Structure 1
């Protein structure tokens, strides 16, 4: 299949990031100048930039341009990451927090999103579907996290954005662990993708109550599915321990 121009542009931009043409926190040149520099149309450039935003390499600021994503340096996250890595039950604590935050984020995103947000959310959803089955599970985890964060950013609540961005590492860690477990269930990708699509559609339709319900129902499904897996694993472990020793 012929590679899209925007995909080629995205690859070229990634090379420029690797070669440190721009570093963390730098603002990219205006679209008009960057498109001219790369010798491509502005629509192709815009689509490529959205792909890199969805991949977590770039970030946009409303009315402020596109920037190279900065690494999370907030120290208060470190103890939470350690707890999550050491305590298996912590993933359910993360889901409880996400249930509260993302339900609220989806509600206000439905009320406040702009046309730019609509495009970003749709791009992030498409990219997440594209990343399904990637050889590196982290690619899919990052795409999943970026989809959820695109919705939270469209809520235009500075406090919520600050919390969600500083929880990004934990959120990404949570999703990685969840995917490792969830995709062992038969036909799990289909319901998850439908839930993500419903969440997106409710936001884009400006159905605030529906968006909040869709986000919360998605996270309830994730939690119940993980509990189902853990029960199955516990029964399997019990059965192994019950085998007579030779």
Structure 2
């Protein structure tokens, strides 16, 4: 096996990345100048500049013209959004449904125990925005812009549930797949919103899984959360082996 030579640029970029990963530099921190970094690593400024450009491309750093280079809060979302169209066919949308079931279901379960009252209030506010957008669409059900806004509001509701789990990785994954999830939400809305509105007008009743999710989290009712999720995602949940 041949031994690979590691370039100076790669060595500098790895050293810079290590400082970010071990929290020597936090998001928002300004890095030393190219000259100072060159002196620190004992390399020329061009090598430092190329290393900075590499980390800029990876989304770890942000260079502001005339100001300097800053650490960014890393997110995979921009990269996932570039390939999200792959998940728009029927087969992959079912994959998105299963991903939502896993993430949202676990986040709901955890949120019962760890979410704060302030976070629950924020969830209620997300629902109020959802209801506002739904009322607007109800008055103009063929309006594509309003449908998009309702799907976005629905995403924010579920995103808040994910945040209430206090699991940063769940939140990152949910944001990374936002475009695919919003498309899945829109598909569900398009398939049932007219039927729901017609039924409401005839019966005078309204059933809303969002309200059940809020109540389930606040009341610690795991079974109610599972039932609401099953209806909302139009899936049949598979019982756990120990149930």
Q: Structure 1 length normalisation: TM-score?
A: 0.54
Aligned twin of 2:5: none
Aligned to 1:82: 85
Q: 1:212 to 1:161 in 2, by over 3 A?
A: farther
1:137 aligned to which of 143, 147, 157: 147
- Please name the residue that 2:234 is paired with: 220
| Cα offset, 1:94, TM superposition | 1.2
Aligned pair count reads 154
**Higher Cα Rg, which structure:** 2
Label 1:76 to 1:141 Cα distance change in 2 as closer, same or farther (>3 A): closer
Unaligned stretches of 5+ in structure 1? 1-24, 27-69, 224-246
CA RMSD of aligned residues (A): 3.1
1 or 2 for the larger relative contact order (CA 8 Å, sep ≥6)? 1
Is residue 206 from structure 1 mapped to residue 220 from structure 2 by the alignment?
Answer: yes
| Alignment deviations for residues 30-63 of structure 1 (CA, whole Å, 9 cap, x no partner) | xxxxxxxxxxxxxxxxxxxxxxxxxxxxxxxxxx
1:128 alignment counterpart: 130
4+ runs deviating over 6 angstroms = none
1:221 and 1:185 map into 2 onto residues whose CA distance is 18
Give, in whole Å, the separation in 2 of the partners of 1:222 and 1:182.
17
Distance verdict in 2 for CA 1:119–1:220, change over 3 Å = same
The two structures have a TM-score, normalised by structure 2, of 0.54
Q: CA deviation at 1:174?
A: 1.5
CA pair 91-128 structure 1, distance change in 2 beyond 3 A: same
